[in-house]
Structure 1
């Protein structure tokens, strides 16, 4: 019985559905091929659910971070390039935003 429990815990921790540690990750990606220009670790939490504020607000926080990134010129990216935000809130949510932001 202990072996089965150990295997189940190992599978949970080894997959993306890790309920013990969740994180909100964000990327500024190109608007066409979604190549990442820059990434951030926005937040993380231990033993939290998908209802935790760190997971619920992941998309909004990522959108704001990428908007600021675009406003300040997107680092060394060519001026006028367009980026979108991509977020991953562990197994709670994730995706690519629809709005395109022009690098200043």
Structure 2
């Protein structure tokens, strides 16, 4: 019985990611090939659902981070380069923006 529960719990983790620890991660990626320029760990939560504010607002937080990043020149990226944001909210959501930001 214990082995069966262990197998079921392991399968849930493999399918849905780790439900015990979710993280919101953000990347500035090139607008064409999505090569990552910089990444940030924005937030994390233990034992939270996809309805937790840290997961619901992950994309919005990442968008704000990339807007600021582009205004400050995107680090050592060539001026005028264009970046998009890529976010991952654990197993809750992920994606790449359609909006491009020009590095100052």
Bucket of the pairwise TM-score, normalised by the shorter protein: over 0.9
Structure 2 match to 1:87: 87
Post-superposition offset of 1:17: 2.3
- Taking the aligned partners of 2:81 and 2:37, their CA distance within structure 1 comes to 11
Structure 1 ranges of 4+ moved more than 4 A: none
How far, CA to CA, are the matches of 1:16 and 1:90 in structure 2? 9
List alignment gaps of at least 5 residues for structure 2: none
TM-score relative to the length of structure 1: 0.95
Aligned length: 104
Give the equivalent residue in structure 1 for 2:101: 101
CA RMSD of aligned residues (A): 1.1
Structure 1 residue ranges without an equivalent (≥5): none
Report deviation, 1:84: 0.2
Q: 1:14 Cα shift?
A: 4.0
Deviation string, structure 1 residues 35-88 (Cα, Å, up to 9, x no partner): 000000000000000000000000000000011001000001111100000000
1:12 equivalenced with 2:8 (yes/no): no
